[in-house]
Chain A
Amino acid sequence: MKYSAGSYESSDCIVTVSTHSKTDIIIESIVFEQFGDQIKDVISNTLKEQGIKDILVECFDKGALDYTIKSRLLTALKRMEE
Chain B
Amino acid sequence: MSRSYLFIPGNTPSMLQNLDVFESDAIIIDFEDSVLTYDKDAARILVKEFLTKFNFKEIEIFIRINDSESPFFKEDVLLTNDLNITGYVLPKALPSSIDQLLKITDKQIIPIIESPMAVLRLEEIARKDQIKGLLLGAEDLTKELNINRTLEGTEILFTRSKIVLTCNAYKIESIDTPYTSKDDEQGIYKDSLNASNLGFTSKSCIHPNHVDVINEVFSPSQEDIKQSLRIIKKAETNTKGAFSLDGKMVDAPIIEKAKRVIVQAKKYNLL
> Counting chain B CB atoms within 10 Å of each CB, which of A9, A65, A66, A71 scores highest?
A71
Asked whether A71 lies within 8 Å of B45 as measured between CB atoms, the reply is yes
Judged by DSSP, the binding face of B is helix
- Docked Cα-Cα span, A67 to B45, in Å, equals 10
User: Is B155 close to A, CB under 8 A?
Assistant: no
Residues 34-70 of B at the A interface (beta carbon under 8 Å): 39, 41-42, 45-46, 48-50, 52-54
Rounded to whole Å, the gap between the CB of B83 and the closest CB of chain A is 13
State which size class the interface on A falls in: 10 to 19
- Docked Cα-Cα span, A21 to B14, in Å, equals 35
Q: Among B12, B45, B54, which residue has its beta carbon within 8 angstroms of that of A74?
A: B45
Q: How many of B's residues come within 8 Å of A, CB to CB?
A: 16
Asked whether B41 lies within 8 Å of A78 as measured between CB atoms, the reply is yes
Rounded to whole Å, the gap between the CB of A82 and the closest CB of chain B is 9
Asked whether A71 lies within 8 Å of B42 as measured between CB atoms, the reply is yes
Asked whether B14 lies within 8 Å of A6 as measured between CB atoms, the reply is no
User: Is A23 close to B, CB under 8 A?
Assistant: no
User: Is B116 close to A, CB under 8 A?
Assistant: no
Rounded to whole Å, the gap between the CB of A37 and the closest CB of chain B is 19
- Docked Cα-Cα span, A68 to B12, in Å, equals 10
Given contacts A9-B14, A11-B13, A11-B17, are A67 and B42 in contact (CB under 8 A)? no
- Docked Cα-Cα span, A12 to B54, in Å, equals 17
In the bound complex, residues from chain B placing their C-beta under 8 Å from that of A10 are 14
B54's nearest neighbour on chain A, judged by CB, is A67
Asked whether A74 lies within 8 Å of B49 as measured between CB atoms, the reply is yes
In the bound complex, residues from chain A placing their C-beta under 8 Å from that of B14 are 9-12
Interface of B toward A, CB cutoff 8 Å: 11-14, 17, 39, 41-42, 45-46, 48-50, 52-54
Interface of A toward B, CB cutoff 8 Å: 5-7, 9-12, 64-68, 70-72, 74-75, 78-79
Sample of 14 more A-B contacts, CB < 8 Å, known A11-B13, A75-B45: A5-B39, A5-B42, A7-B11, A11-B17, A12-B13, A12-B14, A65-B13, A68-B13, A68-B46, A68-B50, A71-B45, A71-B46, A71-B49, A74-B49
The 3 A-B pairs of least Cβ separation, nearest first, read A11-B14, A71-B49, A67-B49
